[in-house]
Structure 1
Amino acid sequence: MRYNRIVLLLTAAAALLSSCNGGFGVIVPSFEEYNGHSVKNIELKAAHNFTSGSLPAFSELAAEFNAENEYGFSVKLTDDNINQNSTGLDLVFCSPADAAKLLRRGMSVELSPLITHPRWGLDSGRRIFYRAAAKQTDYFDFARKITSVPLLMNSGVVLTNSRLMQEAGIGRFPANWFSFNRILRKIGENGSPALGLQLDTDSIVSFINARGGSILRPIGFNYSLNNPVVNRTLRYLRRLEDDGLLSVNTVNYINQTMFTFGRLPAVFIWTDGLPHYEKLAAMTNPELNWEVNLLPTRRPGKSTVINCTYSAAVLNSSSERELASWLFLRWLLQPEQQKRLAMKTASLPVVAEAAKLLLTDADNSGAYGSVEQVSPHWLDALRLVDDAHKELVPSLSDYSAVSENFSAMLERIEEGEWIWIETMKLNYRIKKMRHEENAKKAGKR
Structure 2
Amino acid sequence: MSRLPRRILEKIPFPMPCLWLVMLVFGLLLGACSPILPPQVDEATPQTTRTRAVLPTLIPTAAPQPEQTATPDALDDLRGLEIRLLHPWTGSLAAALENAVRDFNQGNEWGIRVRAESSGSSMVLAQRMENSPSAEPIADLIIAPSENLLFWHAHGNRIRPLNDFLLDPRWGLSEARRADYPLAFWQQDQAEGQQLGIPALRTARVFFYNLSWASELGFSRPPETLDEFRQHACTAARANNTDRTGSNDGTGGWMVDTDGWTIYAWLKSFGLNNPLRGEPVRLSFNHPQTLQAGEFLRGMVDEGCAFFGRIPPEEAFATRRALYFSASLLDIPVLTATLQRLGSQDVWMALPFPVSDRPVVVVGGLSYGILRSQPERELAAWLFIRWMTQPEVQAALLQSGGGLPLGAASANLAQEDMRQKYPAWGTALQWIPIAQPLPVSGEWRFARFILEDAFWQALQYYVPPEQIPTVLNQIDPTLREVVERHTGQARP
Give the TM interval when normalised to the shorter protein: 0.3 to 0.5
Choose between structure 1 and 2 for higher RCO, CA contacts under 8 A separated by at least 6 residues. Answer: 2
Provide the TM-score with structure 2 as the length reference.
0.30
